[in-house]
Structure 1
Amino acid sequence: MADQNIVIEEANGKAGRATFVDLGREFAASVPHSVPQIRSEQLELIDPGKNPFFGHASVQLFIAYRAGKPVGRIAAHIDHLALELPVEQGMGPGTGMFGYFDAEDEAVAHALLARAEAWLRDKGMTRVIGPISLSIWEEPGLLVKGHDHSPMIMMGHDPAHYQPWIEGAGYGHAKSLLTYDLDISRPFPPLIQRIVQSGERNERIRIRPVDKSRWPEEIRQVLAILNDAWSDNWGFVPFTEDEIAYAAKKLKPVIKPELNMLAELDGRPVAFMVVLPDINEVLTRTGGKLFPFGWFHLLRALGNPKGLGMRVPLMGVLKEFQSSRLASQLAFMLISKIRENANSLYGSTRGEIGWILDDNKGMIAIADAIESKINREYVIYEKPL
Structure 2
Amino acid sequence: MIAIEKVDTAKRLKQFIDLPFRLYADDPQWVAPLRSDMKRILSPQHNPFFREAQIEHFLALDDQGQAQGRVSVCIHAAYNLRFGDEHVFFGFFEVAPDPAVTRALFDAVSKWARARGKSRLLGPYSYTSTQDAALLLENIDGRPPTLLQTYNPLWYADALKQAGFHLAFTFSTYGVDVEQYHARRKASRSEKVMPGSRFSVRSATRSDLRSNLEEIRCLFNSAFAENYEVAPISKASFKFQIDSVKTFIDLEGIKLIELDGRAVAFFLILPDLNQILSRLKGHFGLFDLLKLNRYKRGVTGGVIALIGADPSVQGSGLGRLIGDEIVRYAEPRFQRVDTMWIDDRNPSSYVLARNVGMRRTKRYGVFGLNLDQTPV
TM-score, normalised to structure 1's length?
0.90
1:364 is the counterpart of 2:364: no
> What is the 5 A alignment of 1:322-341?
322-325=314-317, 327-340=318-331
Residue 82 (structure 1) aligns with:
79
- Is the alpha carbon distance of 1:117 and 1:297 closer, same or farther for their aligned partners in structure 2, counting shifts above 3 Å? farther
Distance 1:59 1:106, change over 3 A: same
Partner residue in 2 for 1:8: 4
How far apart, CA to CA, are the structure 1 residues paired with 2:40 and 2:173?
26
1:275 to 269, 274, 297: 269
Larger mean CA deviation between 115-124 and 178-187 belongs to 178-187
1:128 matched to which residue of 2? 121
Distance 1:183 1:235 in 2: 30
Q: For residues 129 and 163 of structure 1, do their structure 2 counterparts lie closer, same or farther at Cα, with a shift above 3 Å needed?
A: same
Q: Distance in 2 between matches of 1:32 and 1:102?
A: 17
Aligned to 1:113: 106
Distance in 2 of aligned mates of 1:199 and 1:55: 46
Deviation at 1:72, TM superposition (A): 1.0
1: CA distance between counterparts of 2:292 and 2:275? 10
**3-state SS of paired residue (2:291):** helix
Tell me, in whole angstroms, the C-alpha distance in 2 between the residues paired with 1:69 and 1:14. 15
1:248-307 Cα offsets, whole Å, 9 max, x none, are 4333212102222111222221111111101111221232321242233344444xx444
CA contact (8 A) 1:279 1:301 kept: no
Please show how residues 20-99 of structure 1 align to structure 2 within 5 Å: 20-67=16-63, 68-86=65-83, 92-99=84-91
Q: Is the 8 A contact 1:110 1:165 kept in 2?
A: no
Q: Which string of whole-angstrom CA distances, capped at 9 and with x for unpartnered residues, describes residues 349-378 of structure 1?
A: 111022100011101111222221111111
Partner of 1:85, secondary structure, is: helix
Residue identity (%): 26
Q: Deviations over 1:51-78 (max 9, x none)?
A: 1111111111111111122211111111
* Residues 289 and 248 of structure 1, relative CA distance in 2, 3 Å threshold: closer
Q: What is the identity, as a one-letter code, of the residue corresponding to 2:210?
A: P
Q: Shift of the alpha carbon at 1:237?
A: 1.0
Is the contact made by 2:55 and 2:72 (CA closer than 8 Å) also made in structure 1?
Answer: yes
Give the conservation status (yes or no) of the 8 Å contact 2:276–2:299: no
Deviations 1:58-109 (A, max 9, x none): 11111111112221111111111111013xxxxx211001111111122111
**What amino acid does structure 1 have at the position aligned with 2:90?**
F
Shift of 1:188: 5.7
Aligned partner of 2:374 in structure 1 is: none
Unaligned runs of 5+ in 2: 372-376
RMSD, aligned CA: 2.1
- Asked if the contact 1:208/1:261 (under 8 Å) is kept, the reply is yes
Instruction: Please tell me whether the aligned partners of residues 272 and 299 of structure 2 are also in contact (alpha carbons under 8 angstroms).
Output: no
Deviation at 1:117, TM superposition (A): 1.4
Match of residue 307, structure 2, among 315, 318, 337: 315
Shift of 1:176: 0.9
Q: How many corresponding residue pairs? A: 368
Q: Distance in 1 between matches of 2:206 and 2:136?
A: 34
Q: Is the CA contact (8 Å cut-off) linking 1:179 and 1:374 kept in structure 2?
A: yes
Aligned counterparts of 2:357 and 2:181: Cα–Cα separation in 1: 10
- Distance in 1 separating the partners of 2:104 and 2:6: 13
